[in-house]
Amino acid sequence: MQKNLVIVESPAKAKTIEKFLGGDYKVLSSYGHIRDLKEKGGLGVDVANNFKPDYIIEPDKEAVVKTLKKAAKESQMVWLASDEDREGEAIAWHLATVLELTKEDSKRIVFHEITKNAILHAIENPRDIDLNLVNAQQARRVLDRIVGFELSPVLWKKIMPSLSAGRVQSVAVRLIVEREREINRFNAEAYFKVVAEFILSDGKTLLKAELNKRFPSETEAEVFLESLKDATFTIEDISTRPGKKSPAPPFTTSTLQQEAARKIGFSVGQTMTVAQKLYEAGLITYMRTDSLNLSTLALNAAKKEIEDDFGGRYVKIRRYHTKTKGAQEAHEAIRPTYFEKKTIRATAQEQKLYELIWKRAVASQMADAELERTTVTIGVSNRQSEKFIVNGEVVKFDGFLRVYLEDSDDENHDDNTETLLPPMKVKEILNLSEATAAEKLTQRPARYTEASLVRKLEELGIGRPSTYAPTISTIQHRGYVTKGNKDGESKLFTTLTLKNGSVTKTVKTEITGADKGKLLPTDSGIIVNDFLTEKFPLVLEYTFTANLEKEFDKIADGEMSWTDTLHKFYDLFHPVVETVSAEKYELKVGEKILGTDPKTGKLISVKIGRYGPFVQIGSAEDEDRPRFASLGKGQSVETITLEEALQLFQLPRSVGELNGKPIEAAIGRFGPYLKHDGVFITIPKGYDPHHITFEESEKLIAEKKEKDANKYIKSFPEDDSLKILNGRFGPYISYNRDNYKIPKGIVPAELSFEETVKIINAAPAKRPKTARRK
């Protein structure tokens, strides 16, 4: 009989742990949760029976459970070594229940790093399964199932089929929708920022300074520049003061997600996937944590590393305390398991994230950077209230900056670069080289990135380290939010320049308001959010959602019954569901009447359909069938006007005839296009299908023909479906909708029919094409 069986969540973790334990231990993986709430045939929760969950073993886990049961029966002791958080505790409880383990033949062990010492220490200090943590997880799982199960049918009935809603996800969508509306309401105001370049008394050194006032109009800015022609410029004050910068604390889950996005461009989900691999390989501590604490062992290891690399002056041991609302986990912060390991042998992504974690953890225990900040004030003789200001900063001792500096989400954030000022003295007279007044716009609120949304959710106390990444993934997967780009608008900006005694004016075009890689609400997201906010304010209320998280924390601490929380929520929530479900509306939720068609007098409405937003002329009750047109790129149900809607029905439009065949311009699912002689040609950016000319269309058709001509290398009269084509990655063979590589060293144009067939026959068998999974 096997002495010991250790069960963990993942095979990678099992492989690492097995290295540390002797032959008396067998390590197997449960591959995450082995059972979950029943989905088919109902809620999966017996509400009437004190919210008793109906758990079933997931079909894809039946073989895993069979293996674990067999191994457990053959072992004297089973060690449940799932993760230390609530989800991990629930996994251990489900395993103990399904495998029919007792307290005599099983132990619960936890560790927040996969090192030999940590594993052996955990085995020496086992504990029982913490049912308070299990109940906190059950409360969250059951409550979220209730919300999804009861809200989704209401959305199907009132808006359209296939929609769904979740508790935390709906709040995240609300944040994004509200930010988008805030941006749409924002009226940017123009102002003029004045910057001058002075020449010091040595006649050659230049000094750049900014005026301490901004002018609201071009006229005022010009008047100011004109006044500088006769002014004298004197250094009125030079103040120098010491300053310091302190390092950021070591990473929590949310700060790692934010900084990985800023510094190495990782998405939130990507960060967690890579961090999981590092943890399972024994390279970092557990990656789902909101603790800033570092163990004494870790602090000593960091201290030694800093002393060895930089010297004793660079050491400053710090103990950070978590300030996040509802911080729950008793783990350490995220840190390397071995501080002496500066680099690792791993994939490029793993190396980048590991280096980030190592630097942040080491820097958190280093001395402050010591700075000297200097401010120079320059007076203008004929403008007493306006001053030109110069700021300089010199690093006297780099401290933690030697290793790491935290980035910022602020889009107007200046880089932390050292600015060394030239020697100057008070009352020194300066000569003006030139001064410019550049037109700027006040900054609108920034759209959320994945990382800044995580920070906002954390600030509000909504969600926990384990939920941030799934929440952001879910709202994108459901089509309520997209991560994408937003085109800016062209605007004319004026710059006034005073040089050589005269003021000149230049006007140039700049793009404003453009965004890249930001979270944008879709029409579906906006309509569902508005409906839920109006009808179910409880679910969408930030404070209520945060308070629920606090109740989960109390359950985990044994201060509250998990079923009491569910009863309290259900008694508030369920009656609202029944009331809203019974309500009847004249229009579908999200449908909006824009006006009437001037030609037919029929109503024109905009609404959401299964394939996206569309405009409709007429109704199903009319004698004639209604006419439909999809919204164009950049158009929204919320903002489309009657004029824009009518314009959609002008397509397809006839542009003219080419070689006796008509040219049509239209908009389809993938954007605007031309159709000529059965061929579709994409209309590129810069052209409008409503106004594209015959000459422009002729040019695009010619370019398409040339591109297609270059695509075909060879065809064969023996078989029309066999072709040799040019592709993105070079020439290839196309046959019966399958593609085949051409071996190196062969000239594609010289292949005969027989040689081409031989290459196809020698190629590996193609997998059968299957229907796409929903």
The closest of 729, 732, 726 to 756, measured between CA atoms, is: 732
Distance CA 60, CA 356 (A): 36
Torsion of CA 511, 516, 521, 522, to 10 degrees: 90
Residue reference for tokens 């096997």: 2
Catalytic choice (25, 286, 468, 480): 286
Instruction: Tell me if 532 sits within 8 A of 170, measured CB to CB.
Output: yes
Two tokens at 708?
A: 């297609």
Residue reference for tokens 């084509």: 725
Strands 75-80 and 55-57: what pairing?
Answer: unpaired
Distance CA 488, CA 510 (A): 9
Question: Which DSSP state fits 748?
Answer: G
Supply φ then ψ for residue 127, to 5 degrees.
-145, 175
Q: Is 712 a catalytic residue?
A: no
β-bridge mates for residue 237, sequence order: 377
Tell me the CA end-to-end span of the chain in Å, nearest whole number: 46
Please tell me the number of Cα atoms within 13 Å of 711 on its side-chain side. 10
Question: Which DSSP state fits 241?
Answer: E
Distance CA 132, CA 328 (A): 13
In degrees, rounded to 5, the angle at the alpha carbon of residue 250 between the alpha carbons of residues 249 and 254 is 100
Burial environment of residue 359 by CB neighbours within 10 A (0 to 12, 13 to 18, 19 or more): middle
Instruction: Tell me if 370 sits within 8 A of 399, measured CB to CB.
Output: yes
Report CA Rg, the chain: 33
Two tokens at 326?
A: 């509802």
Q: What are the contacts of 526-530 at 24+ separation with CB within 8 A?
A: 526/177, 526/180, 526/636, 526/637, 526/638, 527/159, 527/589, 527/590, 527/608, 527/637, 528/155, 528/159, 528/163, 528/165, 528/170, 528/173, 528/480, 529/170, 529/173, 529/174, 529/177, 529/480, 530/177, 530/590
In this structure, how many other beta carbons lie within 10 angstroms of the beta carbon of residue 140?
25
β-bridge mates for residue 56, sequence order: 36
3-state secondary structure 397-429: ECHHHHCCCCCCCCCCCCCCCCECCCCCCCCCE
3-state secondary structure 354-397: HHHHHHHHHHCCECCEEEEEEEEEEEECCEEEEEEEEEEEEEEE
**Which residues are catalytic, by number?**
286
